[in-house]
Structure 1
Amino acid sequence: MTDARGPAAGRGGGTSARRTPGTPCWVSLMVHGPAATQEFYGALFGWEFRPGPQQLGPYVRALLGGREVAGVGRLPPDRHLPIAWTPYLASDDVNRTAETVRLCGGTVGVGPLDAAEAGRMAICSDPAGAVFGLWQAAAHLGQAVTGEPGTPAWNELATFEAAGVAKFYETVFGFELEPSATAGLDYVTLRLDGRPVAGIHGVGDALPRERGPHWMTYFQVADIGESLRRLTGLGGHVLEPARDTFRGRVALVADPEGARFSLLQSPR
């Protein structure tokens, strides 16, 4: 497993490098109550916030130690969309990538459009319905710090079956596909330049009916037990208790508005 950054980034440090197309470079959450959401994540991860591009409504960027790690915006009142963390994948040309998404059986729900001087974006879904974003960087390159508690550490797609949808991402972004060698595990690791950048997990009938295929963001924590206690004290919910995995110790949780994410304590 690796983090969502370009090769020029140092662990725990910032990066000024433009990401290889397809690399997860940002995560964003659209909610009904952004003020309460900022309070929750600020207390959970130590984030601070400052205004970001407002093209899709009120939006702030979350900062950790003064460096950008994620975004939080407000859903339009008339949009009844799932409250979910959305990963953005880097693109050198959002218009061209969005057209490739359409040609490969996906859909483009928003954009492409400019986000002020920050860059150009689109919000898409794959053929199975999982939502993801595209980001063409200008002034804003994306996540500026990795490998520290409170930063996104991994993005993983939960879907019905991995192989078919993996072909979509391979065609659109040029990923190298690495199927799991573990018997009975339907998992494909997406690689760029030989390094893992994301995963696809086929879970069949275990996929939550009310959720459908969806991307999951894992946030790094130093002590998962302490983080879970803090989360529940802030009004969050533990959906699956901490368990040991090949990534480290992982727990599935939700914030007070119901946005699901995972906490990850990496092996020491």
Structure 2
Amino acid sequence: MTEAAVRRTPGTPCWVSLIVHGLSTTQKFYAELFGWEFGPGPQQLGPYVRALIDGQEVAGIGQLPPERHLPVAWTTYLATDDADVTAETIRSCGGTVAVGPLDAGEAGRLAIASDPSGAVFGIWQAAAHLGTALARVPGTPVWNELVTRETSTVAKFYQAVFGYDAEAVVSADFDYQTLHLNGRPVASLRGVGRALPRDRGPHWMTYFEVADTDVATARVVDLGGQVLQPPRDGSNGRVATVADPEGAAFTIVRSEDR
């Protein structure tokens, strides 16, 4: 069993999922970009597949009903030992629970929620499916970050719900907090103020590992996606923010320790 395929401490990002209009065409895009293969997943909410690398589950993709026209975006799931209790805590702390909690067959129990700023995230109570089963190889989720207007208010929400310790970067022009569990960084919050995209609002961003950021960025364009922020060197590696053909944004990163 890999390091990633263990039961997570509550609050740890444990899965990412995407619900799209064209399931088969989206599978083809990510198969060509990340080398994903696909296997069946729970069908309670409609057609759904799990992306695989070397037979290990790394992400999920589902299909929207034809009559539903919702924004297409990657959703970060945070681990919980009890989805029902966590859902009630989310509500009591000013968040909203839009879907569930409900069972996903024998895989586990989930809910889809949003924080007080409107950023959507999922919670996952693992049963047979523990979540992402592979880490630190190209094509796997490597980090999750909340992009929001300012971090101080929303940080209190996530701390109250999941018990994070938050470490802030103190700067007059940089609003950033890292969320820790048991002394280990697990996610981050980035306040961008007026630079927040008007068409998206606050949102969780998934980072996927790649072998070469520039090559992967060019590949996104070749496959019908678009570049939102071109490759650039960051504190943790070379990153670029891109979108798939249906507009789902994600960030690709070649870590410096690779």
- Which band: TM-score by shorter chain? over 0.9
Q: Give 1:133's aligned residue.
A: 122
Return the offset for 1:16.
Answer: 4.0
Following superposition, the deviation at residue 239 of structure 1 comes to 1.0
Q: Does 1:250 align with 2:226?
A: no
Deviations 1:140-172 (A, max 9, x none): 000000000000000000111101000000000
Aligned-residue offset at 1:181 = 3.4
Distance 1:206 1:15, change over 3 A: closer
What is the TM-score of this pair, normalised by structure 2? Answer: 0.97
Is 2:155 the partner of 1:166? yes
Residue 21 of structure 2 is aligned to residue 32 of structure 1: yes
Cα contact 2:87–2:97 (8 A) shared by 1: yes
Correspondence for 1:81: 70
Q: Given the alignment, which residue of 96, 108, 119 partners 1:119?
A: 108
Secondary structure of 1:102's partner?
helix
After TM superposition, give the deviation of residue 212 of structure 1 in Å. Answer: 0.5
CA distance in structure 2 between the partners assigned to 1:82 and 1:122 by the alignment: 18
| Alpha-carbon separation, structure 2, partners of 1:14 and 1:23 | 14
* Structure 2 residue identity aligned to 1:62: A
Match of 2:230 in 1: 241
CA distance in 2, matches of 1:25, 1:105: 23
**What is the CA distance between 1:230 and its match in structure 2?**
1.4
Amino acid at match of 2:78: L
Please give the per-residue CA displacement for 1:87-136, whole angstroms capped at 9, x wherever unaligned.
Answer: 00000000000000000000000000000000000000000000000000
Q: What displacement does 1:225 show?
A: 1.3
Q: Does 1:221 align with 2:210?
A: yes
> How many residues matched?
257
Task: Tell me, in whole angstroms, the C-alpha distance in 1 between the residues paired with 2:90 and 2:191.
Answer: 21
Percent sequence identity over matched residues? 66
Return the match for 1:150 from 125, 139, 144. 139
Of 72, 77, 96, 1:107 maps to: 96
Cα distance in 1 between the residues matched to 2:157 and 2:250: 24
Residue 17 of structure 1 deviates from its aligned partner by 2.1
Question: Any runs of at least 4 consecutive aligned residues in structure 1 with deviations exceeding 3 A, and if so which?
Answer: 13-16
* Runs of 5+ consecutive residues of structure 1 not aligned to the other structure: 1-8
**Does structure 1 residue 196 correspond to structure 2 residue 197?**
no
Name the Cα RMSD after superposition.
1.1
Structure 1 residue 57 and structure 2 residue 67: aligned?
A: no
State the distance in 1 between where 2:22 and 2:67 align: 14
Q: CA deviation at 1:15?
A: 4.0
Which TM-score applies when normalising by structure 1? 0.94
| Cα separation, 2, equivalents of 1:84 and 1:259 | 4
Q: Is the 2:4–2:135 Cα contact (8 Å) retained in structure 1? A: no
Residue pair 2:5, 2:131 contacting (<8 A) in 1 also: no
Report the CA distance between 1:14 and its aligned residue: 4.7
- State whether structure 2 residue 39 is matched by structure 1 residue 47: no
Deviations 1:180-212 (A, max 9, x none): 134421011010010110001011110001100
Separation of aligned partners in 1, 2:190 and 2:130? 28
How far residue 231 of structure 1 moved from its aligned partner, in angstroms, is 1.2
